[in-house]
Amino acid sequence: MNDALVQVREVHKVYHRGSERIDVLDGLSLEVPEGEFLALMGPSGSGKTTLLNLIGGLDTPSAGEIVVGRSSLGTLSSASLASWRAGHVGFIFQFYNLLPVLSAEANVELPLLLTRLGRSDRRQRVATALEIVGLSDRAKHYPRQLSGGQEQRVGIARALVTDPTLLLCDEPTGDLDRVSAEEILDLLEELSREHGKTIIMVTHDPAAAARASRVLHLDKGRLSRESGT
Amino acid sequence: MKFLPLILRSLLRKKTRTVFTILSIFVAFILFGYLAAIDSAFGLGVDLVGEDRLILQHKVSLVQLLPESYLRRLEAVDGIIFVTHCTWFGGVYRDPKNYFPQLVVQPERYFKMYPEFLLPEEQLSAWLEDRTGAVVGRATAQRYGFKIGDRVPIQGTFWRLADGGSTWEFTIRGIYDGAEDGTDTTQFVFRYDYFDETRVASAKGLVGWYMLRIRDPERAPEIAAKVDAMFANSFYETKTTTEKAFLRGFANQIGNIGAILTAVLAAVFFTILLVSGNTMAQSVRERSSEFAVLKTLGFSDGLVLLLVLGESFALSVFAGLAGLATAWYLISLGDPTGGVLPIFYFPPEKLVTGLSFIILLALLSGLFPAIQAMRLRIADALRRS
């Protein structure tokens, strides 16, 4: 019995640009135990984000299998995959990807609109998520009224609000200044340590990667080496 | 309902564009309302006339007169239960531009033939007491300020008095209302007995046309053929049609207004469809990364499709209903031409057509962008953003 939360088995991802074949992932295998904070590093084009998208069910592998928890993602229909993402995965993006027309609390509430929770329960969960990221006092603010660091905190609150097992972060500090980046990394560490979240973070930044419990390096679609921290 | 704030917020993303689109749809539906009212006005209330009434006129044209003696013969025809006649007077009230239809009628029979003209019993009695009395419809009474007891001089244009004069004087004895919105209340009717007694001798005993009420509307063609055969080969041959066909023919003399208005409306709605469709398409294109984020969060393809369609419906329904309501209000203020369109109202069935247009507009303008958003591939859209 394998107790890894994420199992990536012999995954290939091939893109075609005209007649050119691009092997982004080349038979990659990987296991991520529950509760681990894993950093994925590698040069641009090494397949980090593609791997993250595949684990999050945003894209499908050309070959191989990805199992997250008890779900083999390849067997799920598009609708089931959407529903699975809503319940099990939180996404954190480099550029926050908040909806500019919604306030911070309305952005955080978005994933909860897919649940059966009533309005007051949703509001309570939103308040809790914003409290965890330290932004209770900015709930009514719109993204344009927030700093980059604050926007990313809203993004994290949105990822957390459904209490997913797995957090997938694509360069979460890539667009932030050093101080804000440190604060976001502190927050991710806390989520891993105190809330038991499994985190997979793609980063170029060695300082960010150093916060993870394990660092994997990708090169040309393969795992090249592993380093502990 | 929980997605409504998201839909409305998304619409307000580009406020100026949304406002201009709303205004375009709003104005289009006001125009729709007005054109529907004008179409009805030119239809002369054809849709409201009784199915059981036939019109019998001279075979050559409506201008040719018929003998008054036909009345008794027509009453004797099997299937005809009631007959009266009418004559076009075509006079002028003070100024030729003051047009309203003046008809010479048999008082009791006329109002019995047209129960949709509502005349109080005591006013009918007062009219029967006064041979020079006249009854006027509410629309014309309001337009010229006629009140009961007023003396109204009408200048005869082709009907002369026996003494050679041309001014006919009448006393208003009643004002009738219409049973429905589209009922004609512009007529000015006065008594045949007075008219026949005072007009030039050469035309005495002649009337304009006959109205026949039949027991069974299904038998209309058969009865029409029968009465026309009855007067065939006489000096006064006849042509009998249903009142609906008669009025439609009369309206068609002006031109096929319905076809012209339909063409104008089609052009307007095609333009609005382009405006609204372009707004939706642009809006979806600009937000492809936002839709990708929603899908990442777990919004299914179907839900994203519904959200975009929801925006399209919100836009069209809000602007369309506002336009229809405004048109309804403006039309209820009355004929904007001051009398050229006496039957001017918003036909209820056109309201249903308007609502169908709103739904159709929402669907057609939103469907293509909605399908685009639905088919959006998350990874591609996120990579592009």
pLDDT of res. B49: 64
| Residue A193 forms part of a structural domain | yes
Task: Report whether pLDDT(B357) > 80.
Answer: yes
CA atoms within 13 A on the CB side of B26: 12
Q: What is the enclosing helix (H) or strand (E) of B367?
A: helix B348-375
| DSSP, res B92 | B
Pairing of strands B80-88, B102-105: antiparallel
Query: Looking at residue A155, which CATH number applies to its domain?
Result: 3.40.50.300
Say yes or no for a CB contact (<8 Å) between A119 and B379. no
Mean pLDDT for B40-54 is 71
Which amino acid makes up residue B351? Answer: L
Q: Which of A85, A87, A102 sits opposite B9 (nearest CB)?
A: A102
| A138 is a domain residue | yes
Q: Dump the DSSP string for chain A.
A: ---EEEEEEEEEEEEEETTEEEEEEEEEEEEEETT-EEEEE--TTSSHHHHHHHHTTSS--SEEEEEETTEEGGGS-HHHHHHHHHHHEEEE-TT----TTS-HHHHHHGGGGGSS--HHHHHHHHHHHHHHTT-GGGTT--GGGS-HHHHHHHHHHHHHTT--SEEEEESTTTTS-HHHHHHHHHHHHHHHHHH--EEEEE-S-HHHHTTSSEEEEEETTEEEEEEE-
Which of the residue ranges A137-146, B189-198, B376-385 would you say has the lowest mean pLDDT?
B376-385
Position A1 scores a pLDDT of 44
User: How confident is the model over B249-265, as pLDDT tens digits?
Assistant: 766 666 677 788 888 88
Q: How far apart are the first and last CA of chain B?
A: 30
The whole domain housing A84 covers 34-60+76-228
Are the beta carbons of B297 and A99 separated by less than 8 Å?
no
CB contact under 8 A, B297 and A100: no
Report if residue A68 sits inside a domain: no
Strands B102-105 and B188-191, by their bridges, are parallel
Q: Report if residue A27 sits inside a domain.
A: no
For chain A, 229 residues long, the average pLDDT of each consecutive 10-residue run is 83 90 91 94 90 94 93 92 94 92 96 94 95 93 94 94 94 88 91 92 92 92 76
Chain B CB contacts of A56 below 8 Å: 296
Q: Which residues of B touch A49 (CB under 8 A)?
A: 383
Residues B374-381 have a mean pLDDT of 91
Return the percentage of chain B with pLDDT > 70, whole number: 94
Query: Does the residue A16 lie in any domain?
Result: no
Mean pLDDT across chain B: 89
ipTM: 0.93
pLDDT in tens, B107-139: 999 999 999 899 999 999 999 999 999 999 998
Structural domain count of chain A? 1
pLDDT at B355: 94
Instruction: For residue B236, give the 3-state DSSP assignment.
Output: coil
* Whole-number pLDDT of residue B45: 60
Residue A12 lies in a domain: no
Chain B residues close to A118, C-beta within 8 Å: none
pLDDT of residue A129: 94
- Best mutation target among B296, B299, B305, B374 (most A Cβ atoms within 10 Å) is B296
Cβ proximity of B25 and B315 under 8 Å: yes
Q: Among A41, A50, A57, A69, which residue's Cα sits nearest to residue A212?
A: A41
Residue A7 placed within a domain: no
Q: Which residues from chain B sit within 8 angstroms of residue A88, using beta carbons? A: none
Is A145 inside a domain boundary?
A: yes
